[in-house]
Amino acid sequence: MQKHHLSLQYFRERLAHYDALPQLVILGLLSGVMTGLLMVLFRLAMELPLTYLLGHPDNFEALSSQQQFLWPIIGSSVLILIFYLWPQTAKQIGMVNLFERLAYHQGRIPGKSIIMQFVTAAIALSSGHSAGREGPSIFLGAACSSLIGQRLQLPNNSLRLLIGCGAAAAISAAFNTPLAGVIFAMEVILMEYTIIGFTPIIVAAVSADLVMRSILGHDNVFDVPLFHINTLAEVPWVMLLGVVVGLCAATFNRIMLFAYKVKHWPVAIRFLLAGLITGIAATAYPQIMGVGYDTISEALWGRLDLQLLCGLLLIKLLITPLILGLGIPAGLIGPTLFIGAIIGAIFGVIGGWFTDMPVSHIGLYAMLGMGAMMGAVLNAPLAALVALLELTGNTNIIFPGMIAIVISNLTVRYFFNLPSIFLSSLQAQGLDYRQEPIAQALSRAAAGSLMETSFITTALSLSTTAAQEILAKKPRWILLQDVGQAAKSLMLPTDLQSYLARDETPEQINLLDIPAERLNIVEISFRATLYEALQKLNEQHISTLCVTSNKGDIMGVLTRAQIEYYYTHKQTL
């Protein structure tokens, strides 16, 4: 037992360092496996009831008009009951909350949030609300990984990376796209690319995908036809597609932000309104209900007529951001893919009318629309491009995909000045997720990685001989602490050495009475990041902190100079 404890303690201490690659790989594997298993349960929780009732998880068209109207309202009613029974836990779910926990709580997500997100998202999607399962999946993966770190009492810098691992694993398991999961975690969640960070996140994404394939098989999420761009004469049409998708992405963002303005309304009113809106729309267009992957596949194969495509685009673009802004606990990535596929299919159909420019397969434009919409709404162009490549397995998508995605992103970012929908939602609540470069760099390592452990603890009163023995050991710091008492202060050995060099020195010395600079004890956990340590130094207007273990024992001393040296010399590791 003692050996196990020492091994775990060493594991924690190594993780405090930014370059603890072997330990990070182990965490990535653990995160990926646990997230993969959780994703299997989450998917089954939605698909099994719907398969039993509808014959297929997406077959909401089989319901009668009355059922299509009532199902979202019934789902909203159940959600209202849950939110009223557990109001505090209900506030701790969703992608916006995930970013808030990362920005303001060092990635600590309560364990109860996993259960709440799992249950509420399953109810919302099973009852036909026009939303996606990817957002809840990402939150579940991130929260599960955060809980692993909290239970193991790991340093806070590793919690942040664990959340990235969980997010990558969730995307990988949701779409069978491990590489897109990795890029998404780096581009959207962590908002930085680091050499050390890539490896554990890759391990997490691959292991989650392996778990999902092993249990549920390897069925493609979408039925994608083979295609390629026919001629470079189509490039202007692809560029126009990017512009239109960008306009729709900005509209999506604005509608969702508008709906956020009524967040102060009671949950019952907001959820019933969302259920009523969805129910009414579903009676005319039942394809909008649920995740709608079957409709995306139909659009990819060009099996939907133009009138239906236009109706689906209008309804989905209005309904989804509205109900998500009203607080329905589901995701928006799936709907962005749906909307993008519909826009692309419309372009494919209309393009076929021009005899002088025969367009490629409609599925090519539908897929380009999916990538462009995802990239524009999430402000994740690289993740969107990689997702296109993995979903199609067709390198012909890269060239037109780059054009459509870049133009849609430019349209949203520079014509409408809108960041990703997640950051927009945070800012709507008066919060911000963006970090300064110094905060990013110092968040990668923990206080325990820099602390000076060369210190000696001594009683306040000691003999001259004992003082000389202390100096002979050449410590960097002397900690003043009587047996059974809390630490009093810190002092430098040079001050004691100067006192002993005097001509007359008493046999017994009180270290609180001799001329010396004594520093008050201000503690910080070894789990805190260097950025947390710097913030505490600035708040207290001090230059030294005592780093403590989980049990409260002083492990070492951390100075402002050490942090500044790390940032200027080592933060690029």
**Model's pTM, two decimal places?**
0.88
- Whose CA is closest to 188, among 344, 364, 387? 387
Query: In sequence order, what are the residues at sequence separation of 6 or more whose Cβ sits closer than 8 angstroms to the Cβ of residue 387?
Result: 175, 177, 180, 184, 371, 374
- Whose CA is closest to 57, among 65, 49, 67, 68? 49
Tokens encoding 495: 């001050």
pLDDT value, residue 34: 96
pLDDT value, residue 503: 65
User: Which residues of the chain carry a pLDDT beneath 50?
Assistant: 1-2, 572-573
Write the single-letter amino acid at 265: W
**506: phi > 0 → left, psi -120 to 50 → alpha, else beta; which?**
beta
DSSP H stretches of helix in 379-528 = 381-392, 398-410, 421-428, 437-442, 464-472, 493-500
The residue assigned the tokens 């919690």 is 159
Within this chain, domains 232-428 and 442-569 share the same CATH topology: no
pLDDT value, residue 558: 93
Query: In the chain, what are the helix, strand and coil shares in percent, each to the nearest 5?
Result: 65, 5, 30
Does domain 232-428 fall under CATH 1.10.3080.10? My reply is yes
- Whose CA is closest to 251, among 125, 408, 115? 408
Write the single-letter amino acid at 369: G
The domain ranges of the chain are: 2-222, 232-428, 442-569
Topology (CATH) of 442-569: CBS-domain (3.10.580)
Q: Which CATH number fits domain 2-222: 3.30.1240.10, 3.20.20.70, 3.40.50.720, 1.10.3080.10?
A: 1.10.3080.10
pLDDT value, residue 573: 45
pLDDT value, residue 358: 65
Phi, psi of 301 (to 5 degrees): -95, 0
Q: Is 546 helix (H, G, I), strand (E, B) or coil?
A: strand
Question: For the segment 214-270, what is each residue's pLDDT rounded down to a tens digit?
Answer: 998 877 777 788 777 777 888 999 999 999 999 999 999 999 999 988 888 999 999
